[in-house]
Structure 1
Amino acid sequence: MTEEQFRRHVRKLAALRGWTLAYHTHNSVRSDAGWPDEVYGHPAAGRTLFVELKTDTGRIRTAQETWLRHLASCGFEVALWRPRNLAKITAALAPDGPRATLPHKL
């Protein structure tokens, strides 16, 4: 599964679970480095989720780690998800599901 296929799969799953707001920078060539791949909003649950998506073998870049750790330290709900994390992803996307967290080692 490519990262783009994974991103589309997670986005569909999020929509099915009521995350009606979604943002993705489609062309990041002129954007600052490191911003998470997806931002989801669930107005009914009062949740906003910043997500970096990688393949099971994809590497996270320094700028991505910096942004993810910064957002998490500011109290935002932040995740680094890979296809192997599908059960955790599904649980976190439930409106009343567990809050997404970053792994200690990115």
Structure 2
Amino acid sequence: MSEEQFRRHVRKLAAMRGWTLAYHTHNSRRSDAGWPDEVYGHPQVRRTLFVELKSDTGRIRPAQAEWLRHLAACGLETALWRPRDLALIVATLAPNGPRAQLPDTL
């Protein structure tokens, strides 16, 4: 599964679970480096989730890691997800699911 296919799949899952607000920078070539791929908002439960999506073999760039660590340090829900994390993704996207957390090795 390509990163784009994975991104679209996660976005559909999020929408099905009530994350009705979604943001994705479609052309990042003119944007500052490192901002997460997706930002989801769930108005009913007042949650916002910042997500970097990678293929199972995709590498995270230093600017991406820096932004993810910063957002997490500020207390915001932040995740790095890969296709192999599908069970965790589904659980986290439940309206009252567990808070997203970054992996220990980022």
Q: Give the TM interval when normalised to the shorter protein.
A: over 0.9
- For normalisation by structure 2, the TM-score amounts to 0.99
- For normalisation by structure 1, the TM-score amounts to 0.99
Q: Which runs of 5+ in 2 are unaligned?
A: none
Q: C-alpha separation between the residues in 2 aligned to 1:87 and 1:39?
A: 19
2:89 corresponds to which residue?
89
Aligned length: 106
Query: Structure 1 residue 51: deviation in Å?
Result: 0.1
Q: Which runs of 5+ in 1 are unaligned?
A: none
1:47-93 per-residue CA deviation (whole Å, 9 max, x = no partner) reads 00000000000000000000000000000000000000000000000
Deviation >6 Å, runs of 4+: none
Aligned-residue sequence identity (percent) comes to 80
Q: C-alpha separation between the residues in 2 aligned to 1:99 and 1:11?
A: 17
1:14 corresponds to which residue?
14
- Correspondence 1:40-59 to 2 at 5 A: 40-59=40-59
Q: CA RMSD in A?
A: 0.3
Q: C-alpha separation between the residues in 1 aligned to 2:50 and 2:100?
A: 9
1:22-47 per-residue CA deviation (whole Å, 9 max, x = no partner) reads 00000011100000000000000110
- Name the SS of the counterpart of 1:14 in structure 2: helix
Query: Structure 1 residue 94: deviation in Å?
Result: 0.1
